[in-house]
Amino acid sequence: MTGPVQTGRDVVAEQGRVCALAVRGVRDLQDVTAAHPELFDAAPFDPALLSSVATAIAFTAPWHTAAELRITTRTLLWVFAADWQVDYLARSADDVREVVTDCLAVADGGAPPPGRHLARLLADLRDELAAVPAFAELRPIWRDELARMLAAVAREWDWKKLPADPSTGQRLPDLDGYLDNADNLACSFVNVTHWIATGDDETLAQLSDLLAAGRGVQRVLRLVNDLATHGRDAEWGDLNALLVADPAQVQTRLAELTAASRAELAALAERCPREADYLHRQISFTGGFYQVSDFWGVRDE
């Protein structure tokens, strides 16, 4: 449980403690990238990205120790690696399907094929999570969230790369269809990993409700991300909400989704106060972070 709101020097001291928690996370991620050099050899996987990943987790779950946050932080880094593999390295639909097949086979207990570095890191995460007693029972849920994420990133690749439907002339979805694919952000997969790794019995008994609330937050984060990064997305050829709807429509939808999520989390807090705070913090941290920077690089001022 988090304590009361602090003021003055106490706030600075708490922020310093959370930053130190992030530093511990960065050092662990440096070990990960050193152990998987082929996966993280692209220029965007620089110290700033590792710092951003560790800081995001530290500020959204600051009541945990660095050891408790280790697998959550590593999972978020894996998500960035998966995004890079599909969005920027895959040259064909077959390449994307290969990534999906490899990762789901690992989730089902298989060994990663030789040379498949993304699957190898996922196997490391799976094996570490298997040491958590709850994983044996909740593994199907973890696997389902992984499958949802992979299906969403594959669908986004199709939207970007495949030709328009000849019968309609449409290639991209509308805003509703785009948001229905928000699992491509992988927040829900990171969340389920976090809760399995750190949650007590009472938390895990509420997992279905937590995931439902988290999926609403994920839609909020999808639009916050898109509004902040549309310049880079256009340069890199990424899909963005501003390609399927005008900015005013996206801003209006973001306000609606944020209000709905805040209300849902207020109700959830009566049963799961710490987990509701965790999801609240995702919204707040992401909104603040994207005012200045971007996980993949510096924001244009």
Q: Cα–Cα distance between 198 and 196 in angstroms, integer?
A: 6
Q: Please report where in the chains the tokens 């972070």 appear, as a residue.
A: 289
Q: Calculate ∠ Cα 146-152-154, nearest 5°.
A: 105
Under CATH, what is the fold of the domain 9-292? Answer: Farnesyl Diphosphate Synthase (1.10.600)
Residues in the chain: 301
Query: Domain ranges in the chain?
Result: 9-292
Task: Indicate the pTM of the whole model.
Answer: 0.92
Q: Give the distance, in angstroms, between the CA of residue 227 and the centroid of all CA atoms in the same chain.
A: 17
Give the closest residue to 126 by CA, choosing from 103, 160, 95, 97.
103
CB 22 within 8 Å of CB 58: yes
Side-chain half-sphere CA neighbours of 251 within 13 A: 4
Q: Each residue's pLDDT tens digit in the chain (301 positions)? A: 444 445 556 888 889 999 999 999 999 999 999 999 999 999 999 999 999 999 999 999 999 999 999 999 999 999 999 999 999 999 999 999 999 999 999 999 999 999 999 999 999 999 999 999 999 999 999 999 999 999 999 999 999 887 666 566 667 899 999 999 999 999 999 999 999 999 999 999 999 999 999 999 999 999 999 999 988 888 888 899 999 999 999 999 999 999 999 999 999 999 999 999 999 999 999 999 888 888 876 544 4
Question: How confident is the model at residue 252, as a pLDDT?
Answer: 97
Check if the beta carbon of residue 264 is closer than 8 Å to that of residue 218: no
Residue 245 CA to residue 21 CA, distance in Å, equals 39
CA angle 18–9–286, rounded 5-degree value: 40
Work out the angle at residue 142's Cα, subtended by the Cα atoms of residues 95 and 29, and round it to the nearest 5 degrees. 70
Residues 6+ apart with CB under 8 A from 188: 145, 148, 149, 211, 214, 215, 218
What is the model's pLDDT at position 236? 81
Confidence at residue 46, expressed as pLDDT on a 0 to 100 scale: 94
Q: Are 21 and 62 in contact (CB under 8 A)?
A: yes
SS3 293: strand
In one-letter notation, the amino acid at residue 79 is: V
What pLDDT is recorded for position 1? 42
**Rounded distance between C-alpha atoms, residue 274 and residue 85, angstroms:** 34
